[in-house]
Structure 1
Amino acid sequence: MANVSVAAEWQLLYNRYYRKPELYQMQWKHIDLSRNKVACATFGGPIAVIRDDSKIVQLYAESALRKLRIFNSAGVQVAETVWKHPGGRLVGMAWMDDQTLVCVVQDGTIYRYNVHAELQEPNVSMGSECFEQNVVDCIFWGNGVVCITEANQVFAVPDFKNPKPCKLADPCLDEYPLCAAVIEPQYTMSGNVEVLLGVGDHVLLVEEDGVQQLGVGVGPLQKMVVSRTGKLLASFTHDGRLLVISTDFSKIIFEYNCEAALPPEQLAWCGMDSVLLYWDDMLLMVGPYGDPVRYLYDEPIILIPECDGVRILSNTSMEFLQRVPDSTVSIFKIGSTLPAALLYDALDHFDRRSAKADENLRLIRSSLPEAVEACIDAAGHEFDVLRQRTLLRAASYGEAFSSHFQRDRFQEMCKTLRVLNAVRNPEIGIPLSIQQYKLLTASVLIGRLINAHQHLLALRISEYLGMNQEVVIMHWACSKITSSLAIPDATLLEILLDKLKFCKGISYAAVAAHADKNGRRKLAAMLVEHEPRSSKQVPLLLSIGEEDTALTKATESGDTDLVYLVLFHIWQKRPPLEFFGTIQARPLARDLFITYARCYKHEFLKDFFLSTGQLQDVAFLLWKESWELGKNPMASKGSPLHGPRIKLIEKAHSLFSETKEHTFESKAAEEHAKLLRMQHELEVTTKQAIFVDSSISDTIRTCIVLGNHRAALKVRTEFKVSEKRWYWLKVFALATIRDWDALEKFSKEKRPPIGYRPFVEACIDADEKGEALKYIPKLADPRERAESYARIGMAKEAADAASQAKDGELLGRLKLTFAQNAAASSIFDTLRDRLSFQGVS
């Protein structure tokens, strides 16, 4: 009998069954849909209601103030606000995919509200042209709107996430179109919105780039609506026919003569299987085959298309018209002997303790898995909790006798139904079907619940489904802060921490940022103390003005990037001395500041060192600056830049001299300044930029090369250059300019303190063997003489000198030098033999 009563509620459309269960008795009072503009969100979303100002209505006992009221799908009011927008009549309103209510007024201004009837900034304007022409009609889709003006121009906001209005191509119409529909951007080849306008006997397809004429001869069309997939168009013709056409107008799918002169008030798709037409007392459901189904209504209704059917809203109830799922048909169809029906029947016999239960099970033993699956599937499509339970019991009963069934499927369905039953509760009022739930996804559903401030349910569902609860708790905490202005900070902190502690990894910093945004800085400071991640904690402390705490936390973390973030922040906000005092007490911060300032902010760093009495550090900076100045390409040819350089080094010298520990640096700076000054003078007198930044030795050498012996002597005297070094420098300088007479004269001034070897080296390096011969005989060491003779190719003399030295190893080496010369080689061999013979005797 149960099967009969279930199937008795169905209607047959050709070979498919449809049912129309009541989801809710509406809990609102005195709402007449015919007197109001109404917007209903898909996926069981909220309903927005506002008095229709285009109609003259009797106010009864209600206020003359127009109110925008928001209800859930069960008619429970969740919010209201006074409508106080100028700009003319409200042309249309609809809910976007993210449950933002979009309201379009006559002058092209678009107002947006959230589910709590709070106005969202900024408002969107369709532009001055739209403002001048007035909006007459608008068509909405998932996340956009198309407006048609009195001048028959078409404007669109393709995506409210980035609300930029655009004007579509001019359709060049003299009369207002008979009807309009929109193909969403996701279903068009171009990826842009396409608008269909019913004009005369054809349809115009309007895009941004142009206008096309389609379907000549199909019209005039009075009403159009595009299917969910964007591929089919249902339309009502002027002669009372329902036409279903492909949206490219290439073929007519089917047509049905409604025998009605008046076009329907509403036209909607019911899934993809049938089309609904509504006149003021009748709802007609037409399929591609067979006779249509009629439903009579004595009150106005609104059709709300869903992915798997249509919700029907009236003044008193919310119904759901859907095709009966195949699994449900297999169980409840009158006279069904399919395995699922027999399994369901077996449970009934089992409950009545009838032996027929066992008989049924024997009949379907081989088909038990599919019977169990059908019962589970049918349970998922039910809105009636008792029927869900019975179907699941039947599945469980069959499962006990089947070893080939996946138990996960049963558990998953139980979980899903618990979630669906929870949100279908009239107080929540989200009557999702299982198909809608799967399409929407659990995470989006949780997002919608928290936006509706149903935090507890959202938390329980997240926990039950094993999902991240952080999103829910975060939203709850932020909402609590916003709505608890009267609660003292300390009390509110306790309330928040009590819940936040249950969620590991929660961002206390984000909650604190929200508290700060709401003007509760003290609460923000208290909250941020609980944030374990310095990277989140420190920026927030800065934003709420807790710089010192931020610096402490950053240095404790050891993260140099964070320390720099705080340093730069404080640096900009505080006077230098106060800033120096702040960082001086924190070694890491101080060292990082010094490292940065050493590269980029010398002057500031000098101020810092002076403030802390580190004079030697200032001196080093000044010295470095002098070198930087020296790198300037202008610092040459007697450049005036040398003056400041010398002053910098002298200043460094005076600072070094104030501390006993830096005597060497003080002396070095003094001599550096003196040398620079002399080099600068030399460049000025010689007009050659070759002295500055060279060493003392190079300066002396350059002076001699240039013939300026007096200057060379002055540098020698000034810097107390030793006699040995002086001799080395002068010898090689004279050899460089090949002044052999001066070299000889220099060698005879007195016995050179460095000996004659440098003279020999200088001459040989200059390839002047004759000059070298002047000095080789004067070499005291016979080994040196031998090697020197060998270097200028004089074998006999080399051999004589080597024999004086009585050094066999030296003779061997010299022989190698003259390896190409057989006669010379034999001389060395003879000498070696003689030497070894003498050694033996």
Structure 2
Amino acid sequence: MMDLGARIYLAMRDLGARIYLTMMDLGARIYLAMRDLNARIYLAMRHLGARIYLAMRDLGAQIYLAMRGLGARIYLAMRGRLETAEETVFRKCKSVEYKLLMATADWNPLGDVYLRKTELYSMGWADIVDLNKFVAVASCQYGGPIALLRDDAQTARVQVSTKPVITTYTAAGYQIGQMRWNSGQIVKMGWTVTEDLLCVQDDGVVLVYDFFLNFKRTFGMGQEAKDVKVIDCQIFNSFQGTGIAILTSTFRIFIINSVDDPRIRRLAEVPGLQTAPSSWTIINLDRQSRALVAKGKELYLIDHGGQFQYQSPQISAEVNEYVMMSVSYSNKYLAMFTDSGVIWIGSSDLQKCYCEFNTKSPQCPQQLAWCGSGAVVAMWDKFMLVVGPDKDWIKFQFDSPVHLTQEDDGLRIIQNYQHEFLHKVPDVTEKIFKIGSMEPGAMLYEANREFMKGSQKADEYVRMIKDKLDIAVDQCIQAAGHELEPSKQKQLLRAASFGKCFLTDYNPQAFVDMCQMLRVLNQVRNHVIGIPLTYTQLEKLTTTVLIDRLVLRKFFAYAIKISQYLKIPEAEGSSRILAHWACYKVKQKNQDDEIIARAIAQKLGDTPGVSYSEVANEALECGREELAIRLLDYEPRAAHQVPLLMKMHKDQIALSKAIESGDTDLVYTVLLRLKESMTQGDFLMSIRSMPISYSLFLQYCRQQNPKLLEDLYYQEDNFIEEGNCKIMRSFDDERLDDRTETLNQAIKCYQKGRHDFVIKQTEDQIKLLKYQRRLEEEFNRPYMDLSLHQTIYRLTVENNYKVSEQLRKEFKVPDRRYWWIRIQGLAEAGEWVELDKFSRNKKPPVGMEAFVEVCAKHHNVNEAMKYMSRVSPEQKVRCLVKVGNKKAAADTAFENRNEEELNFVLSKCGHSDRQLVESIKSMKQQLGLKR
């Protein structure tokens, strides 16, 4: 481009594309050779020959000014002498290609892909922490916290005996917690997936601490680990969460797959292992955790089923020992470092070898890690080597010690002054920013830039991708998600928004979702919060877990705002967060109980899904009983109030709350608790003042403890109820004399209560029992405990008519009642002749319809029809219906000219009586005409 002083020669497609950019002021040439669709960019600069270094110590230093409101970074090279050639070119060169070059200046080619190293934070500990002085560094994945262990005695920096100190920091380098270690020797530190710190001691004890180094729990790795000591440990991600594997001094490996459910399993022993393995690691595939152990140059895969498999990976280099191993985040790939300096890269099942790279270093690296799943990183002191699967490599030099943390999509690099993220340039980002790219996203991005300048070239670019504009918009949206700098995110999203304007049926939901996610990510990446999540990581972590991590860090306001912004349901979002806030609030011991309770009530109000009882229980766990009681006053559900009040031994208050609720089960719960915790006298005295609770207790005694109930009535001089209790107790006496005695005691109680009717009934009961005993002795059949009615009925069924008659006279049974019993007994016994005789003795007080009814009940229609002529006219229709003769019943009702009786017969007709129904309707019409 002539007006910019540079010419770009693009020779593409058939010859493979070479771009020669001659930059006279820089004295360098950039050769871009794109062969076989694989592009490699070689940036030749005077001093390094391959890369552009913007930080040149001799010529000046870079000052990084992060302007978060604008989302941009300005790089100024200052500290005088001569103005650098790079600045001169930057001011003069405004071509599109040069700006794309600057966008890709931090890209490093690694075979067919590019890696870029992005600064996440300037560490807040910059002037405080020197990683060289710490014996252990543990960083949690997904942008989690960092734990540092300092042991001056172990590093021989002081002569006096001191205890180790553990300090936790955010990913931005700001201190969270600190404690002096007072337990055993720490072998390994690591973090769980829920951001709990694990400290594994040499006696196999694992201590678990929270984010702020508050102790949570502890568990052991078994008796053998305690007896023979642990010499090495691996903390790994398993299919069940976070697992731990230990290596004892007897060279046995014990493993648990979840620290939340520590079930210890012993792995198979490596044959012939007499010394510590040269290296080992845990591989988690197919929902099974196995250990890969190197015994010199021999490799064994062992599991908890007692099986071991000898492994022979494809390797051409001479190997005496495998001295270091590293498994990728996905557990699909494995890297091993040999004693000869060779890095072997292959599949974790050791069936495939992708690369053997000779580092030519006899020294074992301090760390071996994976950058995502596409590159292996080896770290020696301040020198880092990145190796790809095709033997491509990149090297980085650092000014301070480095700690590496594997992530699913990259590698975090923690230093004294910086926290950086090394990762593969996403394909969609490469398509947009790669020099010479003709992808739709790249053209749309440039079109938007021209549009912002008011250039007509914007229209030309849009026309070039007219048919692929939707693809271009999608590419810009996706690329924005992978950018960590807000300024680049805005540029890409503006380009996407610009492209959407030319599409009529484009669904904007992806654009809206991306804007929301990026706002959330930019907020949590802020150094105040310090969670440097990428969009890829957030997709796997989920927003729910992210909110949990904000709550864990006590960023309740941020968590609520994010949940409301993302429209998360209250039960999973703001309500749950407020509950956590309230539990945190009650732990603040420097405030008065009344103030805290009022503040919690004002904040929570009637928020659905928040239980004041849970908050009160948390206050009780913290030893703040008065605060717990105050909080329970705001709990609307008595079922949640009462158990906690009982836990605090506030039984009287609990009983009052239970009575107010009207829940009898709840009242019983409190009453039983009071009964167990108090003497009987105190208990009874306490509940007598509450009539409802006392009556419920009496009801309980009536079912569960009749003797206590009788004693209570005796104490109250309630003679009638006391007598009733004795009546009920008499049924438990097996001997007649005992029962009679108990009934006589009941009579005395009734006499005190002056209840003559009950006295007479009880006397009759005693008489009946004696009579039944004589009957049993005479007929050798059971009669005891039958009622008078049942006794007469059984005598009738058994043809003892005289005895039943005598019993009727003895107990003065009314005639109507006796006739009914006698009729039913004769019908049950099938004594139809005797039944007919009995009906003719005298006029039955129950009417003849009773005879018809019992005959019909026993399905003897013929016998029932014998009595039909003696049935009164008023009952004849109903009796005919009872024997099933609805036709005769209808005719009789018609003869009686009684429409009501016709309606009764009609109501008893079913679907099979259609003809009769029509006949009855006709009869009703005739009766109506006659009227």
Could you say whether these structures have the same fold, taking a TM-score greater than 0.5 normalized by the shorter chain as the test? yes
Q: Which residue of structure 2 lines up, in the alignment, with residue 823 of structure 1?
A: none
> C-alpha separation between the residues in 2 aligned to 1:780 and 1:595?
50
Offset at residue 516 of structure 1 (A): 1.9
Secondary structure class of the residue paired with 1:21:
strand
**1:260 alignment partner in structure 2:** 361
1:18 to 2:115 alignment: yes
Q: Name 1:655's counterpart in structure 2.
A: 749
Quick check: which one's helix share is greater? 1
Is 1:372–2:477 an aligned residue pair? no
Match of 2:513 in 1: 412
TM-superposed deviation, 1:157: 2.5
Seen in structure 2, the aligned counterparts of structure 1 residues 134 and 63 have a Cα distance that, compared at 3 Å, is: closer
Q: Take 1:175 and 1:356, find their aligned partners in 2: how far apart are those partners?
A: 72
Select 1:71's aligned residue among 165, 169, 185: 169
Partners of 2:791 and 2:311 in 1: CA distance:
98
Rounded Cα–Cα distance in structure 1 between residues aligned with 2:274 and 2:783: 91
The answer (yes or no) to whether the contact 1:345–1:357 under 8 Å persists in 2 is yes
**Structure-2 change in CA distance of 1:722 and 1:548 (3 Å):** closer
Could you tell me how far 1:307 is from its partner in structure 2?
Answer: 0.7
CA contact (8 A) 1:53 1:90 kept: no
Determine helix, strand or coil for the equivalent of 1:276.
strand
- In the TM superposition, residue 420 of structure 1 has moved relative to its aligned partner by 0.9
Aligned mates of 1:319, 1:530 — CA distance in 2: 49
Partner of 1:180: 280
Q: Say which of 663, 666, 670 aligns to 1:562.
A: 666
Aligned 1:191-210 pairs, distance under 5 A: 191-210=287-306
Alignment equivalent of 1:227, drawn from 294, 319, 328: 328
Q: Would you say how many aligned residue pairs link Structure 1 and Structure 2?
A: 724
Which residue number corresponds to residue 340 of structure 1? 441
State the SS of the aligned residue for 2:731.
helix
Partner of 1:56: 155
In 2, the alpha carbon distance for the partners of 1:690 and 1:503 equals 67
Q: Which has the larger radius of gyration?
A: 1
2:584 is aligned with 1:479: yes
Look up the match of 2:31: none
| One-letter amino acid matched to 1:654 | K
| 1:79-478 correspondence to structure 2 within 5 Å | 79-86=177-184, 89-121=185-217, 123-142=218-237, 143-172=242-271, 173-184=273-284, 187-188=285-286, 191-216=287-312, 219=319, 220-289=321-390, 291-467=392-568, 468-478=573-583
SS in 1 for 2:658: helix
Deviations 1:168-222 (A, max 9, x none): 22224112111001013xx23xx44211101133211122222423323755322
**Contact 1:11 1:19 (C-alpha < 8 Å) held by counterparts:** yes
Contact 1:3/1:331 (8 A) holds in 2: no
**1:693 equivalenced with 2:785 (yes/no):** yes
Q: Which amino acid aligns with 1:39?
A: A
Structure showing greater relative contact order (alpha-carbon pairs closer than 8 Å, 6 or more residues apart): 1
> 1:49 corresponds to which letter in structure 2?
L
Opposite residue 372 of structure 2, the aligned amino acid is G
Specify the alignment match of 1:518 in structure 2: 622
Q: 2:456 and 2:790 mapped to 1: Cα distance? A: 120
User: In 1, are the aligned partners of 2:151 and 2:163 still within 8 Å (CA)?
Assistant: no
Q: What's the CA shift for 1:99?
A: 1.0
Give the 3 Å change call, closer, same or farther, for CA 462–607 of structure 1 in structure 2: farther
**Structure 2 residue identity aligned to 1:693:** D
Q: Does 2:634 match 1:530? A: yes
Secondary structure at the counterpart of residue 112 of structure 1 = strand
CA distance 1:52–1:404, shift in 2 (3 Å)? farther
Per the TM alignment, residue 445 of structure 1 is displaced from its structure 2 partner at its CA by 1.1
Against the structure 1 CA distance between its residues 379 and 702, is the aligned structure 2 distance closer, same or farther, given a 3 Å change threshold? closer
Asked if 2 retains the 8 angstrom alpha-carbon contact of 1:35 and 1:55, the reply is no
C-alpha spacing 1:117/1:63, structure 2 compared with 1 (3 Å): farther
- Letter paired with 1:537: Q
Contact 1:204 1:211 in 2 (8 A): no
Does the 8 Å CA contact 1:35/1:57 hold for their aligned counterparts?
A: no
1:397-445, Cα deviation, whole Å (9 max, x unpaired): 2222222322222221111111111111112111000111111111111
260-269 or 311-320: bigger deviation? 260-269
Structure 2 residue 642 is matched with structure 1 residue 642: no
> Aligned partners of 2:634 and 2:870: how far apart in 1?
87
The 8 Å contact of residues 202 and 213 in structure 1, kept in 2 or not, is answered as no
In the alignment, the residues of structure 2 paired with residue 401 and residue 324 of structure 1 have an alpha-carbon distance, to the nearest angstrom, of: 29
1:35 is aligned with what amino acid? K
Which residue of 1 is the match for residue 146 of structure 2? 47
Relative distance call for 1:622 and 1:140 in structure 2 (3 A) is: same
User: How far is the alpha carbon of 1:108 from its aligned partner?
Assistant: 1.8
Partners of 1:723 and 1:259 lie apart in 2 by 120
Deviation at 1:461, TM superposition (A): 1.4
| Shift of residue 583, structure 1, vs aligned partner | 5.2
1: CA distance between counterparts of 2:444 and 2:812?
A: 116
Note closer, same or farther for the CA distance 1:242–1:650 as it changes in structure 2 (3 Å cut): same
Deviation of 1:584 after TM superposition, in Å, equals 5.4
Q: Is the 8 A contact 1:331 1:340 kept in 2?
A: yes
Residues 15 and 672 of structure 1: CA distance in aligned 2, closer, same or farther (over 3 Å): same
SS at match of 2:752: coil
The answer as to whether partners of 1:169 and 1:209 remain within 8 angstroms in 2 is yes
Post-superposition CA distance 1:4-35 (Å, at most 9, x none): 21201100111111100010111113322233
Q: Check conservation: 1:24, 1:319, Cα contact below 8 A.
A: yes
The answer for unaligned runs of 5 or more in structure 1 is: 630-634, 636-640, 737-760, 782-806, 810-841
Quickly say closer, same or farther: Cα 1:97–1:695, change in 2 above 3 A: closer
Contact 2:151 2:162 in 1 (8 A): no
Seen in structure 2, the aligned counterparts of structure 1 residues 53 and 146 have a Cα distance that, compared at 3 Å, is farther
**Match in the other structure for 2:702:** 598
Distance in 2 of aligned mates of 1:667 and 1:259? 115
Q: Which amino acid in 2 is paired with 1:470?
A: S
Task: Find the aligned partners of 1:437 and 1:15 in 2 and give their Cα distance.
Answer: 27
Residue 666, structure 1, aligned to residue 759, structure 2: yes
Q: Which ranges in structure 2 are unaligned for 5 or more consecutive residues?
A: 1-97, 844-868, 872-931
1:539 aligns with 643
Deviation for aligned residue 1:557: 3.4
For residues 42 and 9 of structure 1, the distance between their equivalents in structure 2, rounded to whole angstroms, comes to: 24
Task: Kindly state the Cα deviation for residue 252 of structure 1 after the two structures are TM-superposed.
Answer: 2.1
* Residue type of the alignment partner of 2:259: F
What's the TM-score once normalised by structure 1's chain length? Answer: 0.78
| Residues 690/409 of structure 1: CA separation in 2 closer, same or farther (3 Å cut) | closer
Query: CA RMSD of the aligned region, Å?
Result: 3.8
**CA gap 1:766/1:70 in 2 versus in 1, 3 angstroms:** closer
Cα pair distance change 1:192/1:617, threshold 3 Å: farther
